[in-house]
Structure 1
């Protein structure tokens, strides 16, 4: 039983570390604010959540595992939403997309809302 638990913990630690590494590489290598925020929120959330689950399984105590699961769920629900709100705030503040980006749905939506307000 201890061997199975150790394998699960090792797998979760390796997977969490890999996702965290991918997120950090994405933050350094991607060209604009929005791409970096995407890498940090998606891969960083999964990496941190897997590391949190590894700690919960390693403790081998149900209350600690329950707290780790609750923290994982809370983190998965809140991190992408906060990244989305930060990206919207950055867009409203004037940070533009890089040239390779082909669509700006926020600008399109803002222009439609402004034209609707002007018509009424």
Structure 2
């Protein structure tokens, strides 16, 4: 695997973890029920989306062939996300 691909995958994983942690902190910080629902849904949707995009890049580089499974999961996530 090339250095650029590893860098891209690592950046997506780092962005994913940052968004998920920020969503968790938003859940702790806000006091109102609806604000507590709002912060984690946006941040976690983007965080899991970044994680799935990293998976989309990782698996073809390792196995040599791409699978539409990750793309379909990402599409389904963004269609059904409560944003």
Q: Same fold (TM over 0.5)?
A: yes
Unaligned residue ranges in structure 1 (runs of 5+): 82-120
Give the Cα separation in 1 of the matches to 2:46 and 2:15: 9
Q: Bigger relative contact order, structure 1 or 2, given CA contacts below 8 A and separation 6+?
A: 2
Give the Cα separation in 2 of the matches to 1:8 and 1:70: 21
- Paired residue secondary structure (2:55): helix
Unaligned residue ranges in structure 2 (runs of 5+): none
Q: CA deviation at 1:73?
A: 1.5
Pick aligned residue for 2:75 from 60, 73, 77: 73
Q: Which residue of 2 aligns with 1:62?
A: 66
Where do 1:1-120 residues align within 5 Å? 2-60=2-60, 61-63=65-67, 66-80=68-82
Q: CA deviation at 1:69?
A: 1.8
Q: CA deviation at 1:33?
A: 1.3
| TM-score with structure 2 setting the length | 0.84
Aligned residues: 79
Q: After TM superposition, where is structure 1 displaced by more than 4 Å over at least 4 residues in a row?
A: none
Q: Which is greater in Rg?
A: 1
